[in-house]
Homo-oligomer: A and B are copies of this chain.
Amino acid sequence: MNVGLIGLGLIGGSLGLALRAAGLATRVVGYDRSAADLKLAVERGAIDRAAGSAAEAVADADLVVLATPVLAMQGLLAELAPVLKPGAVVTDLASTKAAVTGWAAEAGITFVGGHPMAGSEKSGMAAARLNLLRGAVYIITASPDTPVSAVDLVERLARGIGARPLRMAPEAHDRAVAAVSHVPFLASTAIVRVTTHAEEWDGWAPIASTGYRDATRLASGDPAMYRDICLTNGAAIAPMLRDLAQELERIAAGLEDRGLLDELFTDARDRRDAWVQGQGSFRLP
């Protein structure tokens, strides 16, 4: 199997390292707009060969993996549709799935969505790691008319690099990641905004410690990636963000209500602890 890999940042680069180490591909031809990342991908062995364009990278590919920011994929899918090999399957590694699934359908491409649930605050090929995706849940989404063989191919890729495939519908995926990833990022970002813009911040900064650090870690994520996520997943994110704002207003109004505070804090602690206990042991269907 020949693989075309477009986008050699943190996730694309790590996938390249893993699939070449696992011997899953006869040849991996890669492309990235950044000449530095492309060069580094060859040097680090994430790809066998650097192509001069996305079209060249996919010319001989049985499986095409798109690892670019989500919004770049609309144009990329339209551009690649006419040059794909007959029978080629296209997959991606982006954080939202409904939009890209729709664009692929418009372009008439056999497409299976993929989303390995792993990341880092760092970005770029230099941050890529062989084991970044190992053990991670790897969500695989398909439309009702996607051929089973295409879904199986992407599932074999996921298993081959040591990830744990989990099938979902694109829209269910988008709600799930809005809840467990996008809304926490936005809350983290909002915390940083309201605290660091306060007049007294310079006096507060030395006091902020591990709690502040953890609660705001996601805010250090790549702004362009999260912008694309919001632009393609607003429908799922907006209502949850408003629920969160309402819950905060409710707490603000109840700060003298001992019974309410006991109930809210005990409930949240117990539910989070139950999730932590279960983590890693969830049975994937």
Task: Please give the residue numbers on chain A whose beta carbons come within 8 Å of chain B beta carbons, in ascending order.
Answer: 117-119, 136-137, 139, 166, 168, 172, 175-177, 179-181, 183-196, 198, 200-201, 203-221, 223-224, 226-227, 230-231, 234, 237-238, 240-249, 251-252, 255-256, 258, 261-262, 264-269, 271-273, 275-276, 278-279, 282, 284
Whether A183 contacts B206 by the Cβ 8 Å rule is no
Task: Select one of B180, B231, B244, B245 contacting A255, CB under 8 A.
Answer: B231
When the two chains form the complex, which single residue of B136, B220, B251, B264 contacts A209, counting CB atoms closer than 8 Å? Answer: B136
Given contact pairs A252-B242, A264-B189, A265-B226, A214 touches B218 in the complex (Cβ within 8 A): yes
User: Are A238 and B252 neighbours in the complex by a CB distance under 8 Å?
Assistant: yes
Known A219-B268, A248-B241, A255-B231; judge A139-B207 contact (CB<8 A): yes
Residue in B211, B256, B269 whose CB lies within 8 Å of A184:
B211
Contact A193 B231 (CB under 8 A): no
- With the chains together, A246 CA to B242 CA distance in Å? 10
Provide the residues of chain B in CB contact with A248, threshold 8 Å.
186-187, 190, 241-242, 244-245, 248
Interface of A (DSSP majority class) = helix
Asked whether A244 and B275 contact (CB < 8 A) given A180-B211, A200-B176, A234-B255, the answer is no
A265 partner, pick from B136, B184, B223, beta carbons under 8 A: B223
Known: A181-B211, A200-B176, A220-B276. A267 touches B193 (CB 8 A): yes
Residue of B nearest to A200 (CB): B175
* Chain B residues in 8 Å Cβ range of A187: 187, 190-191, 215, 248
Residues of B within 8 A of A256 (CB): 231, 234
